[in-house]
Amino acid sequence: MRKCDKGMGGLWQRRLLGRAIASASLLLVSAQPLIAAEKDSITLEPMQVVQERNAYGVQKTRTATKTDTLLRNVPQAISVVTDEQIRDQSMQGMADVVRYVPGVQMAQGEGHRDAPILRGNATTADFFVDGMRDDVQYFRDLYNVERVEVLKGPNGMVFGRGGSGGLINRVTKQANWTAGHELGLTYGSWDNRRITGDVNQAVNDRLALRLTALFEDSNSYRDYGQLERWAINPTASFALNESTMIEVGYEHFEDDRTVDRGIPSFTQAGRSLGKPLKVNESQYFGSPDESFSTVEVDALNARITHDFGNGMQLTNQTRYADYSKFYQNVYASGAYNATTNRVQLGAYNNATDRKNLINQTDLTIIGQALGFEHTLLVGAELSRQVTENFRETGYFNAAGTQKNTFVTLQDSLYRGPVVFNHSASDAENESVANNSALYLQDQIELNSQWELLLGVRYDNFRVDLDDYKGGVHSKLSSSDDLFSPRAGLIYKPLDNLSFYTSYSIAYVPRSGEQLSSLTASTRSLEPEEFTNREIGAKWDINPRLAATVAVYNLERSNVATTDPSDPTRSILVDGQRVRGLELGLTGNLTDAWKVTGGYAYQDSELQTPGLEGNEIAQVPRDSFSLWNRYDFNPQWGLGLGVVHQSDVFAASDNKVVLPSFTRVDAAVYYTVSPQLRLQLNVENLLNEAYYASAHNNNNITPGSPLAFGLSANVSF
């Protein structure tokens, strides 16, 4: 088993961090009322998280600090995928987004949800829309997205619970006063049919309207891989005056698809490690007719921003979202048995309904105190999430007693009866999660070379769970007081170069990321804790090209496990550790050559009893990606990308290996006129046979073979 040397960052890092915290404490103790600096007032821009950018790169972000901050002044690794990159690579979902983001992988998600792994931490809930929580399990689309921001490491100070290894924030397209009308058409291999629309129009100097929409009806390289989804997202922006902006939007999104959990594994006699079963990449195991997922999302967003002048700005935003999710699957629940020539199947379904009501208020004050320039953030968040879960087990006989059945390698489809009944072990619960949070952050410019970031967030997070499992009603409650600190020190020897060190903590309460994991033995335990120590550098090589490097140590602790001396109680143990290196390069090498990509080294180790020393599932030791677009002239351009990943284990038991792979993608761009752009995207140009992701040892998704997609973007 792979091992790693102890220690990261060295004594100098700890001393530097200690001095930063000590200096900050002195400032806080002796703080006086801020004296507003004499500077221009904050410019209101509707929902603009990144204000300066080139084709693939950005210079600023509001998401990481909730203030308008240069990326090189944020002591944290951040990757931003812009709308230009989304269009050039013909991205449609989250799996496409993270493909060229160092340190992030996408797991299978049982074929019905986004499931990224950020710095070794798997999640289905660490998703945000315009900085607001979007935590239900489903596949998200990019039809209304301006850019996607991936924040690495714990983000509890800004976003509260979760965000243990990082998070993904979608910044959506909002109505503004730049008129634009665009229609996107895509047709690709296996009848990938997709149409998107974006109409943005100023009504007058005070009102702008925008409408984005989507319809898709597609198949897949996987047999029976049908998908139909549609969405509509109108937004409006009201400039009440020069100081006050109101933005509102509503989204309706529906996604219906076949749930596909891939293929099983096979371990040859005499071998200790298994591999994915060698079959055609399209072969389906289970019952496609009984495996499907439906999602409906209705979300209302409102934001008001007021600039008081003299460096003071107030923002309040509210999100109400109603999610309805159902999925059902008949899938491979065991490995292929060569002796019997059979694969075991299992089945279940699950329904989730959730209503989120979230309100955030942020007050930003830019001014001077104690001789230093400050950007002070004072914020509060209130949220209420009501969730209902109901699960049924699938039985392969009318009597409801046969939980498993088998198919053969030659005929892997199940065509017999499947009866779904609610069993004593199936989930049936209702939960109400209430959260009240206060946070304070100060970005202090000590001088022209040194900056200090200090922040802390307090959350009072309470979950009340009504559990009806086994026909017995029990009420469980859990309440946590979470203090999530963040400290960072930045040194800038040059204006375009910064070095930083940072420390942050985030928590996942006992209710779990999906708010339904409370048990009698764990509800009183401390929440899981995630601690990140990081050093790095950010270099704006020129105004359009940025390079980054980050070295980190991320530890997970307070993992609940059964007490070996008393099976009726749980104890807390250390869970895992990831030590890593991330390199990134994004922007323009020349006027005609754009690039994005990076390299990640991840040394992961599990520490829970029974798994000590094992590697974390689906976390590669080495991964590399690089995408290029080169424009030969104003009409013709060429794209070329490569993605490499070393071998990984499919599950934490480290018994099945997914082999390493190198995949090459390409694209051709042709601008017919300013109103018409054509592009051809080629996925897996060299037709590499590989395995894209997994959920466990026997739910493994083969990668797509050579595929084509032709797109037309029409402006009018």
Contact 442, 374 (CB under 8 A): yes
pLDDT for res 233: 98
Distances (CA, A) of 247 to 5, 144, 239, 359, 638: 51, 15, 9, 14, 38
Q: What's the mean pLDDT in 157-177?
A: 96
pLDDT for res 562: 84
Per residue in 563-585, is it b (16+ CB within 10 Å) or e — as a string? eeeeeeebebebbbbbbbbbbbb
pLDDT for res 179: 87
Does 594 map to a domain? yes
Contact 399, 414 (CB under 8 A): no
- Find where tokens 């929902």 sit: 47
Of 380, 375, 337, the C-alpha closest to 358 is 380
Per the model's pLDDT, the better-predicted residue between 15 and 222 turns out to be 222
- Find where tokens 């806080």 sit: 28
Calculate the CA 681 to chain-centre distance.
Answer: 24
Q: For residue 481, what are the β-bridge partners? A: 460
In angstroms, the CA 404 to CA 385 distance is 36
pLDDT for res 47: 39
Domain span at residue 98? 10-715
Q: What's the mean pLDDT in 252-280?
A: 97
Does 4 map to a domain? no
Contact 113, 695 (CB under 8 A): no
Does 369 map to a domain? yes
* 417-437 tens-digit pLDDT: 999 999 999 999 999 999 999
- In degrees and rounded to multiples of 5, residue 73 shows phi and psi of -105, 15
Is this model's pTM higher than 0.75 or not? yes
Q: What's the mean pLDDT in 269-285?
A: 96
In the predicted model, is pLDDT for residue 570 greater than 90?
no
Distances (CA, A) of 466 to 142, 422, 510, 569: 36, 17, 15, 21
Q: What's the mean pLDDT in 267-276?
A: 95
**How many domains does the structure of the chain reveal?**
1
Element (H, E) at 392: strand 372-395
Q: 324: pLDDT confidence band, cut at 50, 70 and 90?
A: very high
Does 499 map to a domain? yes
Does 527 map to a domain? yes
pLDDT for res 583: 98
Does 2 map to a domain? no
In the predicted model, is pLDDT for residue 9 greater than 90?
no
CATH code of the domain covering residue 104 = 2.40.170.20
What's the one-letter identity of residue 522?
T
Contact 534, 153 (CB under 8 A): yes
Q: Percent of the chain, pLDDT > 90?
A: 89
In the predicted model, is pLDDT for residue 27 greater than 60?
no
pLDDT for res 8: 38
Calculate the CA 316 to chain-centre distance.
Answer: 24
Contact 226, 219 (CB under 8 A): yes
Question: What are the strands of the beta sheet with 121-122, ordered from one edge?
Answer: 104-106, 116-118, 121-122
pLDDT for res 563: 81
End-to-end CA distance of the chain: 59
Q: 319: pLDDT confidence band, cut at 50, 70 and 90?
A: very high
Neighbours of 493 (CB within 10 A): 9
* 63-81 tens-digit pLDDT: 999 999 999 999 999 999 9
pLDDT for res 290: 97
pLDDT for res 118: 97
Q: 309: pLDDT confidence band, cut at 50, 70 and 90?
A: very high
In the predicted model, is pLDDT for residue 704 greater than 50?
yes
Contact 614, 620 (CB under 8 A): no
pLDDT for res 418: 96
Does 85 map to a domain? yes
Element (H, E) at 431: strand 428-445
* 433-461 tens-digit pLDDT: 999 999 999 999 999 999 999 999 999 99
Does 3 map to a domain? no
In the predicted model, is pLDDT for residue 10 greater than 60?
no
In the predicted model, is pLDDT for residue 140 greater than 80?
yes
In the predicted model, is pLDDT for residue 43 greater than 90?
no
- Angle ∠(673,678,680) on CA atoms, nearest 5: 155
